[in-house]
Each structure stands twice: as C-alpha cells, then as structure tokens.
Structure 1
Amino acid sequence: MGELTFFLGLQVKQKKDGIFISQDKYVAVNLKKFRFTEVKTTSTPMETQKPLLKDEDGEEVDVHMYRSMIGSLMYLISSRPDIMFAVCACDWYLKGQPKLGLWYPKDYPFDLVAYTDSDYAGASLDRKSTTGSCQFLGCRLISWQCKKQTVVANSTTEAEYVAASSCYG
C-alpha cells in the first residue's frame, strides 16, 4: 500500500527523526467553504484582554452554518494544539497560521506528564471558571481539553482543585 501520507484529513510526513502531522489542506478547504479566504488574519486564536459577553443587539446566526463550522473546528483540533484551548477560535486565525501541526520526534522517553490550569470566575455571565489541561506521553501530546466548570468555585484554590481533578480523570 505504500507509506502513509494522507489519512482522514491528516497529512502525515514521515522522516528519519520523527513524524509531522498537519491539516493545512483541510484548513484551506474549510476557509473556502465558510468564505473566510478574504478576512484579516490574526496571530492568536482569541483576544486575551477582552471578556466574552453576550451580544444583545447582534444579528441572528445561520445555525446550520454555525454547527458545520464548529464541527470542522472540533475535528481540526486533532492536529492543532495551538487552538486546543480556544474552542471559539475562528478561521481568521487559521488563515494566518495554516501550516502548524504536531511533531513527534523519534527516540524520546515515554513519561506521562499532565498540565492543568483554570481561570477563576472567568465567565462574566455566570461566574464559572474555565478548566484547561493537556497530557503528554514523553514529549508527545496525546490528549487535551478545555471546558467550563460545572460548579461555581468560591476561590481560586477551589477552581484549581476542580481543574486538577478533571485533568486526573
């Protein structure tokens, strides 16, 4: 069958010292599909200093296009750790950073390491915290998550404990 180079939207480049997995072709198809080829680019997935607020005066969104776009972004994060914590990341970031991916170097140790963090009461509407975590096997990213906590934490310590237990689970 030959060397694996493309599988389920993932581009695989096998080299002597490791494997690189990316989705730049998948990004290009989705930028065109959602008409984002002419938008202004950005270097980070999300504005870091502006809180997300409900837009009371905003236009109605085409729910079918929105669901399709979110589904495409969810699939895309399988090889894009730069947007793993930004589910709200939009295609103007992807347009500016289409060739990023995961590098899995050969001959590295396989120690399981996990990192986690939370933002205490970061959601302005309900004051819930957001948990983010990632797990590495050696230097290889194997899992990540980002989600709003189900409880309202009473302190930063409690928010961090909730994040740690979620990461451990």
Structure 2
Amino acid sequence: MSQPEGYEDPHHTGHVCKLVKALYGLKQAPKAWFDKLKGFLLNIGFQVSTSDTSLLFSTAQDKLLLILVYVDDILVTGDDSQRVAYVIQQLNQQFSLKHLGEVHYFLGIEAQKLSSGILLNQTKYISDLLTKTNMLHCKASSTPYCSGQKLSLNDSSPFSLPSLYRSTVGSLQYLTMTRPDIAYVVHKPSQFLHAPTESHWTACNKVLRYLKGSKSLGVTFTSSPRMNLEAYADADWASSSDDRKSISGYCVFLGPNLITWSSKKQQVVARSCTEAEYRSMANATSDLVWIQSLFHELGLHIESPTVLWCDNSSAISIASNHVFHQRTKHIEIDIHFVRDKVQFKVVDVQFVPSESQLADVLTKPLSLVRFQALCSKLTLQLPPSSV
C-alpha cells in the first residue's frame, strides 16, 4: 500500500490513510442488500426457493408470482398482471426503483416478443465483443469449427496476448447462455486459458467469424399445452489428445422448448465408450432431478417419467440391469444414481439413433449440413426482421 497522490506525508512515508467510508462500497454490500430485499419480500408473503436462492415466489390465491434477483437487477413476472403491478408498487414504496416496463434487455440478454412466443438473443453483446476484438468487419463463416483441427496443449507457438485470449474466451462463455450451437467450440479453447497458443486463438477467431454471420440468432420459447420434460445425453469418448478424457453433453427440453444444455469435459478418464456415455447420462439425470424439484416447489405439474434419450445400447442396458459386472464397478456411484431414478420412474432411459441424437452438437464437430439441421431442432432462430 502507498499514500495516494497529493496526500503524501514526507515525514511519515510508511503511513497510509485510514478510510472512514469506502468510496465504492464494501464486499459485504451485495449480501446486505439482498438480505434487506429478501426480508421485505418474505414479509409480504413470498418464499425463497430451495432450488435457487436468487428466486423468490408466491402461490397465494392459486396465482404464481416470480421474482428473480441479480444484485440490483430484478425481474418480476407472474400469471396475474394486477398482482405483478401491486408487488412492483410495494417495492417502489420501500426502495427507490427504476421501473423499466416489460423486459427487453437483462444482463446482456435481449428479449424480443414474437407472435409465437419469446426470442432470447445477445445481438448487442456480440457486436460489442466483435468491436473489442477488432473482428467487426471480418469475413463471416458458416460454421464455428476449424475443419480438421484438434486443439492440444502444445500444438503451436505461444500466443503473444494471453490476456486478450482469456477475456475473449470468458466473453464467449457468457454468450453460450443463449447460443447452444457454440457451447462445444467455446468449451474447447477454455481448456487452455493457462497457456494459449496461436492455434487456440485461431479457433477463437473462427467462432467470432461465425458469430459475425449469426449475430441475431437466439433461442425461442413458445407456449405449449404439455408440461413434459425430455433430455438427450451424449459423449465423445477419449476425445482429448492431452489426457484422453471424454466430453459430456446433454440438452433438456420442456415441451418444444430447449431450457438447459451443457458441454463439459469429464473429470476422470473413461475406460470404455459405455462408461463415457453413462457418465453423461448421470449428469443429465442430475439436472433433470433439479428441474423437477424446482417445478414441484412452484406447484407446476410435470408429466412423468421424464424420457432420457441415449444412443448407446450398452449404457441403457446397465441402467435397467440390476446385476453388477466386474467391468462396471468403477462407475458404481453413477450406476446407483441413475438406476435409482429409473426404478422410481423419475426418468425413463430410451434408445435414440445416432442420426437423431440432438446432443451431438454439444460433444463433437459436425458437418455443415448436420450442424444446421441440429441448430434448427434446438429451436434456434432469427428474429423476423433478420429473416
């Protein structure tokens, strides 16, 4: 620590200033603010969700009201517009609010109302990212993949601007919240943040060029009479050339709408393709159980059991076969977890042909035709003004 410029004491150079009041707030300030807000909402009849502590809800008078809090950004919604307006009025009496009306921009995510539902995208966020990386006027690409390229730890010379690489990959990771089509290709460069190379940066540039041509693409949500969950789980066995770990991918649909997805390297080395697929099924099942718990808490009925689609017959057989074999003892915990959910009819594991496996886009590079076909099935679309 050093004395601030203009306030140096030549006789006590080792002394520092004691702050009477922090200029930019304390680390505890967000927690104190949330505790105050939560206390007020609890007093007017809301409950804190045990599945997501930033979500508060009310089911009084058989009307569902939801409040989602991110520091000082708040979303309020429900199935009774009068109660929504009343809660906003109460909040405004207690706190100084800036009411922005219907949601159209929240934490970098744009919400656009369509005749069929809602489109979420991050067009402005992408434009800002392209400007930051000097790629705003680059040539657009039809796919985010570098053809024939497999990234590894020491595949080329070190990249000269590692801080630029890390900030770009971090920005791309936030972008995957509305873009499942780039989840896999962003996941790969993020493995090399500690030592990026020129080829890793080339892969990032390829993703940026793809985003240049698809800035307005986003995920859509439409109303549906059915409240059924289904998931697709897939894995790419031993795909990492550095440590031979596999890639897990899964996506979950509520009716026709894609609501969550994941592309992630497995933590341990799988000794077979079946094991890799089974670990991916376990990850998908865990997410399904969490979603079911959240919906049950909100009083929303979901058709059961939830169908989990997998394209590996051996992994499906293990889920329903109660005899342990010597070759599967090392994945016993995952086996018990999935089997329990199958036995209690929480999930129903079924076979899907590889050509119909939607989670492929989250685990491996694909041809242009298959990539575009899967993107359309993942309810990704452009806003009407961009079509």
Tell me the residue number matched to 2:141: 42
My pick for the range that moved more, 110-119 or 45-54, is 45-54
Q: Is residue 2:246 matched to residue 1:129?
A: yes
Which of 114, 135, 140 is the aligned partner of 2:231?
A: 114
Give CA deviations for 1:19-58 in whole Å, capped at 9, x if unaligned: 1111111101110011112333222222354322334541
Q: Is residue 2:128 matched to residue 1:29?
A: yes
| Unmatched segments (≥5 aa) in structure 2 | 1-99, 190-203, 287-387
Q: 1:86 to 1:108 in 2, by over 3 A?
A: farther
Give CA deviations for 1:54-86 in whole Å, capped at 9, x if unaligned: 345413342322222122111111111211222
Q: 1:140 to 1:130 in 2, by over 3 A?
A: same
My pick for the range that moved more, 88-97 or 50-59, is 50-59
What is the TM-score normalised by the length of structure 2?
A: 0.41
Larger RCO (CA under 8 A, 6+ residues apart): 1
Say whether the 8 Å CA contact 2:224–2:255 is kept in structure 1: no
Q: Is residue 2:171 matched to residue 1:72?
A: yes
Structure-to-structure mapping, 1:1-169, within 5 angstroms:
1-47=100-146, 49-87=148-186, 88=189, 90-169=207-286
Distance in 1 of aligned mates of 2:166 and 2:141: 23
Task: Tell me how many residue pairs correspond in the alignment.
Answer: 169
* Structure with the higher helix share, 1 or 2: 2
Say whether the 8 Å CA contact 2:227–2:254 is kept in structure 1: yes
Structure 2 counterpart of 1:34, one-letter code: T
Distance in 1 of aligned mates of 2:152 and 2:166: 20
CA positional deviation for 1:129: 0.9
**2:185 alignment partner, SS class:** coil
Q: Among the aligned pairs, what percent are the same residue?
A: 40
My pick for the range that moved more, 60-69 or 114-123, is 60-69
Distance in 2 of aligned mates of 1:150 and 1:19: 36
My pick for the range that moved more, 5-14 or 87-96, is 87-96
**2:149 alignment partner, SS class:** coil
Give CA deviations for 1:83-132 in whole Å, capped at 9, x if unaligned: 12221453111112111101111235221111111111111121111111
Distance in 2 of aligned mates of 1:26 and 1:61: 25
My pick for the range that moved more, 90-99 or 33-42, is 33-42
My pick for the range that moved more, 9-18 or 147-156, is 9-18
Structure 2 counterpart of 1:20, one-letter code: L
The root-mean-square deviation of aligned C-alpha atoms, in Å, is 1.9
Distance in 2 of aligned mates of 1:108 and 1:92: 39
* Structure with the higher strand share, 1 or 2: 1
Structure 1 runs of 4+ with >6 Å offset: none
**1:125 alignment partner, SS class:** coil
| Unmatched segments (≥5 aa) in structure 1 | none
Structure 1 counterpart of 2:256, one-letter code: C
Distance in 2 of aligned mates of 1:20 and 1:151: 37
Q: 1:108 to 1:63 in 2, by over 3 A?
A: farther
Bigger Cα Rg: 2
Distance in 2 of aligned mates of 1:15 and 1:51: 39
